[in-house]
Structure 1
Amino acid sequence: MASSNGKAKRRQPSGVLPNSVDEQLAPLTALFIPSVLDQNDPEGLLPTGSQLSDLRAYIEEIWENEAIEPYETDIVRLYWGRTAEAMKPFDTLFFDGPVLPSMFPFPVNAPRSNFQGDGAYYVWYTVELDNGARATADPKKITVDTVAPSYDKQPGALLYPDDLPNKVIDEAYLSTHGDRVRLRLPTPIYTGAEDRDTLIFWWSDSPSPTDLWLVQKAISIDDINAEDIWVDLTGDMIRAPNKNGTFYALYKLRDRAGNETLVFSEPASAVVSLLPFPSILPPPRVPLHEDDNLVHRGDARAQVNAVISGLDNLEPNDKVRLDWDGSQLLPVPITLPDTVIPVPWSALIAKGPGPMVAHVSYDFIRDITETGSQVADINVNFTVAGQDHPGAPALLNPLLALVDIIGGSGTPNVLLPADRAAPVVPYLMLYQTPAAGEVLELYWGRVAGPVARYDVQPGDLEGDRVAFTPVPWSVIDADPNNARVPVYYTTSNAVNEQQSDNQYVRVQVVTIDDLPEPGFEDEDAFGYIQCDKKPWEGIRVRVKFDSGHFGLDDEIMVFWQGYRNFNSTDPITETYGEFPETIGPGHLQDGYIDVWIRPYEPYIKPVTRGSWGTYYTLTKADGQFGTSPAPENLKIIETVSPEMCPPA
């Protein structure tokens, strides 16, 4: 263990010169002094005030051939001096063996009484072993500086630029000088200027400011050598008080040791003559947020606007630039009484659909200067039930699957009279990431309001086939014959809705039951067709418009069947045919339409002694549908053929 001189057994070591080194020991490391401001500084400058306390130092490493046995003792002598030469140590330490590496770094103290004013000091140590071997550490230089820059004399006033007329700062000067006024220290430079001194700058409407400094600027040796030390008074600093009048530029100086001039510099006054900014920049308003404390997709479709009002001290070219939660819009001119700024969807959705709080503010801009407003916190929620789409925030989402309408027949999106016996159920392949509690509502044709519903259940997955509640027949009967009833659904998460594209359903659930039967224009009085009607050229089936059901663009389908007998028995398969026609303006004028059955083969020729039966269906343009009765068959005998009929 180590003991200090006078507190352990004493040995009277022989005096040695501190710079003598016995080559038997390796060189010693210099003392480490933590309070030195910069360990790489060869001067070892100490913070001002260090001289008022003992100086703590450390022997960082164990020396070579240290004492190992209890009867061995190593002697450490500590030296202090104005030079690196001293004949008498200020302390002696005895290290009895064993001396261990774990004892290091080993702390030592130099009494504060060693400090005798400002200037340089040296501190070092020697080690002496029992066998007489000695070594000396390199002296560590430390410097004490308690004198402030300018030797604590009041620094001279800062100098305004020569091109600042009458020391009046106005917008014209700032706009042509980079929005700043460059102030310089007077020359010659203050006494005691050193590299890395600090200039501390104030700008105040009082020559004795009590507020905090605005700028701290490091002074370099190059600045000192050039005798050109300056600080910039920026436009923001000048405008911050938001008033005109006389202002003062002042400074203090501080050196690296922390010594600071006790008084401000002489004040340098100037007159500020700027157009005042608005006295307050209140937060923007978002009217669509005010009704329900939320901005959602419905608001986005209606157009979200930010409204800026209540600004005073305005100039004609003043502008504002809206910032919607980090998305900056283009600046716009200020209008009175309100400046209304539309917020695009790209800015609303830039940080995702939410829910979240968007921080909305604006910058007031005058020429090249701008300042920010107070912030409005806006609640937003643009989440949806189902996948989103590129056309958002539009309500219609073409990426949602179409619904299918299934009646009793099982044929998708077709409802006929036979379907009345069963419920009509909408089915859907469920969208992406369904969440329990989301609601799907079905809309049918021109019916106001939803007519069916599905509530998403826990465990529902994308692609599941789910069924809505049945569509009431009273809804279907409101438009019972329509070839294209539009049907769609909406999704809702209780905040936002989306709408699917239309599925078109063919509804023909009420038939026309009083259509006239078709007629054979070429039959004789007994219901036969004879040679003079040339059936090999075709047979006419006439549909007369004897009821009020026929209209322009209605579709007529004539069904034709040949038989081997006169009484609609023993049908000939190959003679069956369907013959469509569309009612045109000429037909309406004539009051009928003729549908020709041809060619001769296969529809007519196979019947040699037999008959043909026919009927038709009417499909109106609005979807109404009906089937006609069938007339008595048209008959033929074998003598009526191209080969057996006499030439005309």
Structure 2
Amino acid sequence: MSEYGLLTPPTGRGAKTGVLVLDAPVVPDVLPLEADDLGHKVPVFFQSTGLRVEVPVLWPGGGVLDPGDVTLVQWLWNGTVFDEKRLVAPYDASDLPDADSLVPSQLMDVPGLHELRYEVRLRESSGNPGEQSFPTVLDCDKVGPNNGLRGPRFRFPQVIEDDGVTDAYLDDPANQDRVTATIDSIWPDIRLGDVVEASLIPLPFLKPLRKRPRQLAIVATTTIVQAHKDGTLPIEVHFPGAVLRGLANREYNAQYYLTDRSGRESGPSRAAPLLINLMPTPIDLRPVEIPQLDDGRITLSDARADGGVVMNILELFGSTGGDRLLPSWDLIALDPIEISATQVWPIKVPIPYSVLATGGYEFVSGVVRAEYRWQRGNAPSRPSTTRFASVDLTVAGPVSPDNPDPINLLLDVVTVKGVDGDNQLTINDEGKPVRVITALYGAPDVGQTLELMAGSFPGPIATYTVQAGDSAGREIEWLVDWDIIELLGTGWVPFFYWTFNGVNRQRASDTPVMVNIVRLVGLKPLEYVGVEYGPGPGAGFINCALRPWVNGVGVKVPGDIDLLDGGDEVILDWASYANTNGFAGGVIPETIKSFSHTLTPQEARDGYVFQVPFDPYILLPGLIKPPEGQTNPRHGSAIARYQIIKPAGAGMGYSERRLVFISLIRLNLPPCVSDDQA
């Protein structure tokens, strides 16, 4: 390498004419050298578009340049400059792309070998000669193998020449299920990497081939190696039995083209006739049909439909009884099918859900291959055309272990918040929106929906859309219009919800809700047993005369053959007050109580009596009296009513509220709270 000093310009070794000190240029798009190459082959494509060339490493000496000094890089083709690049100091190896160039296509129009170099003049203004790189030799090949001429025809085994391709020949293990064609003579310019590309062209044809048709299928190839050049290995092309069995029985021309590594091609070889003489087999193995793919993808609704997901194998013309079909889904083998002598087409192949979901499509959508192979006897099987199918089994919420069952037990159920309690709706809810809640599932995505359903209502009765900020476990609610509740009927009504991610739905388990919204009108007033309502100071009172400390006080629900039935639940609501008129401000909290009983048929006819205990329901209001020096409250009171709830949501209603006065106070005597004080 040249010796550069801090104060010395490059006038040493590097300035001597003919001394090469720089690395050879790199040409990324040329082919690597083979043993018989004199230079790097330039592919045909780059001969016409231009060829990238690069300086591989930074030349020495750049560190001694002053800022602003200009380094000149000249690119040379066969010693002639075709491009110049300049780099301004300071620069380093990261600036090397600025020195790269492109060999113009017109320079490569001349066939043969060419030298590519670059020369670096470290300081352009110095006037010193530059330093040249070692060369890279490039080969611009302009003629295909065999000098672009036609090659000799294929030679086939004599039995093939005589009888054509038969089942007996392909089934013979010695022939390895193939037909071998040989090229007898080596073309004069044979090179390593040349490729023989063979095709079969059905006869008759309209004119001889001069150029390769675009639609011509290559059915067999051979790449030239050193043994072919040395003559120790015959040049053979093997036509696979699988290809030959897929052809119609007729005569074909077997021809080949020679292609070299740069992409140049010879003319078509001379034709060799080849007769296909096989037992008829299916030629067109059409792709399967998937009915569930009519909307473009397979989803959970397809898997849940009657019969699930199936692929139909269409009729194979040329098949016969005993042939086998080997279907597969997503590269998973399904049960083989033997074609019967009276086969009904198409053949339906069910896809089990376990197979449908195997690729993880419950978590991320994907595309699967649906296909089959056809086989006769021990011959190799042949593949059908592949059908690609999009599969999306993803859901909003957790993946159910019981898929494709739409009910996912991992989803939280709903709770209907009725006035009278959870999961019951009564006449007390009438006219108000009904609140329904649940806990949101894990990992919710914005825009997913939860569709609330109830009973046989044909669609969602309310919908919740996941919002930004919603998180797992958050309580969400639906508000359902009362007008919709009235359409659900009465009795036990299931409430549940579907989750929807835009593709698939799954649902939570049912929450049974008792809907009892038929109002019973005209219930008879209750009766306070033993209370007198005639004239006199004790009228309308529960007082000492009734001795309530013994068995409490009876409250009778009158019988009613029109409105009451055996099995009805009757609930007595009681509240005592520290005033005379049952105003809410005077309620005694510990006396608020509901008593429940289920009527027998006789009680529904004749009535039923609740016994309200003495303490605290009678005792506390009975001890109410006005404070010293005042006149009010003169005594306590109670208000009661009863409620009828018929089974199975058949109706409910309330009696009117009824006031009763209560006093255990006696003039100049202690209150009567027992027989000892009566």
**Equivalent residue for 1:314?**
319
Change (3 A) 1:313 1:578: same
Deviation digits for residues 421-447 of structure 1 (CA, Å, limit 9, x no counterpart): xx5336689996676xx999876655x
> 3-state DSSP class of the match of 1:622?
helix
Alignment of 1:576-591 (within 5 A): 577-583=593-599
**Equivalent residue for 1:94?**
none
In the alignment, structure 2 segments of 5+ residues that lack a partner are 1-14, 42-52, 56-70, 81-111, 116-133, 533-537, 625-634
2:184 and 2:320 mapped to 1: Cα distance? 41
**Equivalent residue for 1:132?**
none
**Equivalent residue for 2:523?**
514
1:105 counterpart (47, 66, 76) = 76
**Equivalent residue for 1:216?**
221
Give the counterpart letter for 1:336 in structure 2. Answer: V
Over the aligned positions, Cα root-mean-square deviation in angstroms equals 7.2
**Percent identity (aligned):** 17
Change (3 A) 1:314 1:455: same
Shift of 1:277: 0.7
Contact 1:425 1:467 in 2 (8 A): no
Structure 1 position 233 matched with structure 2 position 244? no
Shift of 1:228: 5.5
Change (3 A) 1:26 1:416: same
Shift of 1:238: 0.8
2:331 and 2:544 mapped to 1: Cα distance? 88
2:611 and 2:138 mapped to 1: Cα distance? 124
Alignment of 1:396-415 (within 5 A): none
> 3-state DSSP class of the match of 1:472?
helix
Change (3 A) 1:611 1:28: closer
1:370 counterpart (364, 375, 382) = 382
Contact 2:144 2:258 in 1 (8 A): no
Give the counterpart letter for 2:167 in structure 1. Answer: D
2:482 and 2:190 mapped to 1: Cα distance? 93
Alignment of 1:419-430 (within 5 A): 423-425=431-433
Shift of 1:312: 2.0
Deviation digits for residues 30-65 of structure 1 (CA, Å, limit 9, x no counterpart): 999x9x986565762799xxxxxxxxxx9x9xxxxx
> 3-state DSSP class of the match of 1:284?
coil
Change (3 A) 1:261 1:404: closer
Contact 2:195 2:224 in 1 (8 A): yes
| TM-score, normalised relative to structure 1 | 0.53
1:41 and 1:294 mapped to 2: Cα distance? 53
**Equivalent residue for 1:340?**
348
Change (3 A) 1:225 1:579: same
Alignment of 1:118-157 (within 5 A): 148=146, 154=152, 157=155
1:174 and 1:595 mapped to 2: Cα distance? 98
Give the counterpart letter for 2:652 in structure 1. Answer: F
Change (3 A) 1:175 1:418: farther
Give the counterpart letter for 1:339 in structure 2. Answer: I
**Equivalent residue for 1:556?**
570
**Equivalent residue for 2:644?**
618
Contact 2:166 2:277 in 1 (8 A): yes
Change (3 A) 1:261 1:160: farther
In the alignment, structure 1 segments of 5+ residues that lack a partner are 1-22, 48-57, 61-99, 110-119, 124-136
Contact 1:536 1:604 in 2 (8 A): no
Per mean C-alpha deviation after superposition, the further-off stretch among 172-181 and 228-237 is 172-181
Change (3 A) 1:311 1:38: closer
Contact 2:493 2:513 in 1 (8 A): yes
Contact 1:528 1:634 in 2 (8 A): yes
Give the counterpart letter for 1:625 in structure 2. Answer: M
Change (3 A) 1:352 1:633: same
> 3-state DSSP class of the match of 2:243?
helix
2:114 and 2:605 mapped to 1: Cα distance? 130
Contact 1:522 1:540 in 2 (8 A): no
Deviation digits for residues 456-490 of structure 1 (CA, Å, limit 9, x no counterpart): 99x999699998794438x62884xx475556678
Contact 1:157 1:268 in 2 (8 A): no
**Equivalent residue for 1:65?**
none
> 3-state DSSP class of the match of 1:231?
strand
Contact 2:292 2:302 in 1 (8 A): no
Contact 1:403 1:489 in 2 (8 A): no
Shift of 1:514: 1.8
2:652 and 2:662 mapped to 1: Cα distance? 26
Deviation digits for residues 617-646 of structure 1 (CA, Å, limit 9, x no counterpart): 33222343334465978998977846579x
2:385 and 2:138 mapped to 1: Cα distance? 55
Aligned pairs, number: 528
1:121 and 1:105 mapped to 2: Cα distance? 14
**Equivalent residue for 1:44?**
38
The structure number with the bigger radius of gyration is 1
1:246 and 1:477 mapped to 2: Cα distance? 77
1:478 and 1:227 mapped to 2: Cα distance? 87
1:341 and 1:394 mapped to 2: Cα distance? 21
Give the counterpart letter for 2:486 in structure 1. Answer: I
Contact 1:405 1:425 in 2 (8 A): no
**Equivalent residue for 1:273?**
278
Name whichever structure is richer in helix by fraction: 2
2:38 and 2:566 mapped to 1: Cα distance? 108
1:246 and 1:465 mapped to 2: Cα distance? 75
Shift of 1:374: 8.1
2:579 and 2:138 mapped to 1: Cα distance? 136
Contact 1:43 1:143 in 2 (8 A): no
Contact 2:193 2:261 in 1 (8 A): yes
Structure 1 position 330 matched with structure 2 position 346? no
Structure 1 position 183 matched with structure 2 position 206? no
